[in-house]
Amino acid sequence: MLGWLTWLASPTYRRHMRENIALAGMAHVRNAAIAEAGKGVAELPKIWLRPSAELVDRVAQVTGWELVEAARAAGRGVLYLTPHLGCFEITAQYLAARPSADGSVHPITVLYRRPRQDWLAPLMELGRGANLKLAPTDLGGVRRLMKALKQGQATGLLPDQVPGSGEGIWVPFFGKPAYTMTLAARLAEGGATILMTYAERLHYSAGYHIHFIALSAPLAGDLPSRVAQLNHEIEAIIRLCPEQYLWGYNRYKKPAGAPEPQ
C-alpha cells in the first residue's frame, strides 16, 4: 500500500520509474517494483532502531559465503559493492556481526551519506554494532576507506549512487550515459577483493536471502573501462532480482557543475 501511495502521489517518482524500467527492458516488473519499494520504506524503522544482532537473525539464507571466507583468509582488503537492490541497509550489518569459521570478527567501514533531514541521522546511526563504522561522503571518509583496505579490513559502498561533480564520469548504465562514481574502481587499485552483494527480500516477511557474488572478470583497462565494467556487473545482479531494484531513484541526473555526457 505504501508503495502504491507513493506512486500515485509523486509524478516525478512515476516518471523516473517508468523511464528507468523501460530503458532496462523491465516493464514487466513495474507493479512488483512499486510494491517492493513500499516494503523497503516500511522496513527502515526496524532496520535503524533495532540492535544488529536482532537484524541478522532475520537473514534466513546466505549464498556465496565461501567467497567472503576466502577473501578474509587472503588477508587483503575487501570491497563490498551493494547497489540499491533489496534491503541494502542490512548487508553491512550482517557482515559486521557474522564471524568467520575460526570465530574471528571483521570490522567493516561503509561510506555513509548523512540525510538532508537532521532528525533522521540519529535514527540511522542507532543499532550499529561496534564493528560497523560509518565514513562520511567526503575526503575524510574516503581516507578512512583507504586506510581500512590497507589494513586488510572490509569496506562497503553503494556503487550506483550518483556522485557529486568532479567525483564521477559518464559511462553507460543499461545503455544510457549515467554519471558514475570512480571511487570503487580507484579503491580496487590497491589489490582489494571486490564482491557484489545484495539482500533479497523474501515473501511474506520470511526474512532475507543475502547473496555474495564475485566479479565475472577482474577489473582491467583504464579508469573509464573499469568504471564501465562495474556498471555492467551491477546490471547483471539487478537482472537476478529486478523487481527489488530502486527504479524510482534518479540514476541519470546531472549533478550541478558536472560536464555534459559525451
Q: Tell me the pLDDT tens digit for each residue of 153-191.
A: 999 999 999 999 889 999 999 999 999 999 999 999 988
User: Is residue 4 assigned to a domain?
Assistant: no
Total domains present in the chain: 1
Q: Hey, what amino acid is at 102? A: D
- Which structural domain range is residue 188 located in? 59-242
Q: What are phi and psi of 203, to 5 degrees?
A: -70, 155
DSSP conformation letters of 39-71: HHHHTHHHHHHS-HHHHHTTEEEEE-HHHHHHH
What's residue 121's pLDDT? Answer: 56
User: Is residue 150 assigned to a domain?
Assistant: yes
User: Is residue 7 assigned to a domain?
Assistant: no
User: Is residue 249 assigned to a domain?
Assistant: no
Residue 3 CB partners (closer than 8 Å, separation 6+)? 34, 35, 36, 37, 38, 39, 41
Q: How far apart are CA 24 and CA 41, in angstroms?
A: 23
Q: What are phi and psi of 29, to 5 degrees?
A: -100, 10
pTM of this structure:
0.92
Lowest mean pLDDT among 34-38, 51-55, 166-170, 245-249: 51-55
User: Is residue 107 assigned to a domain?
Assistant: yes
- Cell output for 202: 523474501
User: Is residue 46 assigned to a domain?
Assistant: no
User: Is residue 26 assigned to a domain?
Assistant: no
User: Is residue 129 assigned to a domain?
Assistant: yes
pLDDT of 48-85, one tens digit each? Answer: 777 777 888 899 999 999 999 999 999 889 999 999 99
Q: What are the CA-CA distances from residue 17 to residues 4, 14, 22, 232, 252 (Å)?
A: 12, 5, 8, 20, 12
